[in-house]
Amino acid sequence: MQPALEFPRGFLWGAATSAYQIEGSPLADGAGPGIWHRFTHTPGTIADGATGDVACDHYRRWRDDVALMRALGLRAYRFSIAWPRVLPDGRGRVNPRGLDFYERLVDALLEHGIEPLATLYHWDLPAALDDRGGWLNPDSTDWFADYARIVYRRLDDRVRRWLTVNEPAVVADGGYLRGTMAPGHRNRFEAPIAAHHLLLAHGAAVQAYRAEGHHAIGIALNLEPQHPASDDAADHAAARRADAWTNRLGLDPVLLGRYPDELRTLFGAAWPHGPDDDLARIRQPLDFIGCNYYTRRVVRHDEGAGLLQAAPVPQGAPCSALGWEVFPHGLVEVLGWLRDQYGNPPVHITENGMALHEPAALAGDELEDAPRMTYLRAHLRALQAAIGRGCDVRGYCAWSLLDNFEWAAGYAPRFGLVHVDYATQRRTPKASARLYARIIATNGRALAE
């Protein structure tokens, strides 16, 4: 007999998306361009030249999508607000129609008994601000806090859980060090500065929330164990460096008020020397931590691999369509860090899911996504184990509600519980969506099926 895998009472079951990945109509109703609009329209940046111009057309189909969430029995929905819709120039003039869109969405969610979790920054910086240096400009902290205040004033009476920045370390790495994500810079001097400003912006948005808001706020961090490929000291050191840049770059300043020493060594003169009180501004008391968990990385020292001197090593284990190893135990591990090294804050799993290559069009109403079902079951069991070991996890959002625009990888890797036929915009729940609906309805007991 399998043990009953019931989750704590009131566990918040949901699914997540982000604005640029699903909405489409990026310039509709007075919105300004964002950096992802600009990046996707730059030749050579995205697989197959894909853009978010249409995506899942959620900007026009949001009503149906909320009905779909309701049909799946979701209790929560994590979405992001597109800054360029609210402030077309990034600051100054507010575009009321942008705010209206999110207000309608939130009202529809609440009417259906679905708790909104709103992310303020899921990577779509207004292009006008990028023209002023974007996250390299020290004023970005104030720009973000001003934008956040505008959104709180409109929606905090209905949105009770907020996330400031999604994955600051991924933005610094992809956007400013490797150039694979918007704004596409490749500069070892810029990356730590961008990271520092993103973290300061987080702190400023939390401070603004304490003055204006009445509910709960946190940050979404991508946590990914970095395991050394061997017992060799050089591999261990490479794994520590990768861990500092991937995980502790967010965790340490936000929760402990300091940066990992490895980063100062690694970046040398490029590491920002801000005023001493910067770290105090970054470390604001939070109501919860959002944890995005997908995979682990196995790294070995590699002199030729540039700054971080680590190379991912394939393990021969099952992998997603993005080549990410399926490693459920890593979820127990990262939640153990939060419990043991960071004061056991309340946690929401804000993303977790698996990309697969699946047909663009379905012949009927069925898609048996067995690997995703296995992934979901295994990660929820890992989550259950972590909770059993004292981790304070309050909710789980699957990534993603819908197949969507997977950044530089375009539309080929599909993450959805619900299939999207991009030619017709038809939505079809996959077998994993039906499994997830049963898990939600039984508060986890269906995991024993």
The residues assigned a catalytic role are 167, 351
Cα Rg for the chain, rounded, in angstroms? Answer: 21
Per-residue contact string for residues 96-135; x = within reach of ligand FCB by CB under 6 A:
----------------------------------------
Which of 170, 182, 433, 440 is in the footprint of ligand FCB by CB under 6 A? 170
User: Using CB atoms, what's the residue nearest to ligand FCB?
Assistant: 18
- Judged by CB, which is closer to ligand FCB: 21, or 51? 21
How many residues interact with ligand FCB (rule CB under 6 A)? 12
Element (H, E) at 227: strand 226-228
For residue 79, the one-letter residue type is F
Site for ligand FCB, residues 345 to 364, rule: CB under 6 A = 351
- Judged by CB, which is closer to ligand FCB: 163, or 391? 163
Min separation Cβ 255 and ligand FCB, Å: 19
Residue 320 binds to ligand FCB (criterion: CB under 6 A): no
Residue 292 binds to ligand FCB (criterion: CB under 6 A): yes
- C-alpha separations of 367 from 14, 283, 380, 426, 432 in Å: 21, 45, 21, 13, 9
Q: Where are the alpha helices (DSSP H) in 306-415?
A: 329-341, 370-388
Query: What is the distance between the alpha carbons of residues 353 and 294, in angstroms, rounded to a whole number?
Result: 6
Min separation Cβ 97 and ligand FCB, Å: 25
- Stretches 150-158, 164-172, 188-196, 236-244: which one binds ligand FCB (CB under 6 A)? 164-172
Min separation Cβ 413 and ligand FCB, Å: 8
Query: What is the distance between the alpha carbons of residues 86 and 104, in angstroms, rounded to a whole number?
Result: 14
- Stretches 150-158, 311-319, 399-407, 438-446: which one binds ligand FCB (CB under 6 A)? 399-407
Residue 167 binds to ligand FCB (criterion: CB under 6 A): yes
Is residue 260 within 8 Å of residue 249, measured between CB atoms? Answer: yes
Three-state SS for 77-136 is: EEEECCHHHHCCCCCCCCCHHHHHHHHHHHHHHHHCCCEEEEEEECCCCEHHHHCCCHHH
- Is beta strand 226-228 parallel, antiparallel or unpaired with respect to 216-222? unpaired
Min separation Cβ 6 and ligand FCB, Å: 28
Min separation Cβ 70 and ligand FCB, Å: 23
Query: What is the distance between the alpha carbons of residues 147 and 189, in angstroms, rounded to a whole number?
Result: 27
Residue 166 binds to ligand FCB (criterion: CB under 6 A): yes
Applying CB under 6 A, the residues found at the interface with ligand FCB are: 18, 21, 166-167, 170, 222, 292, 351, 399, 406-407, 415
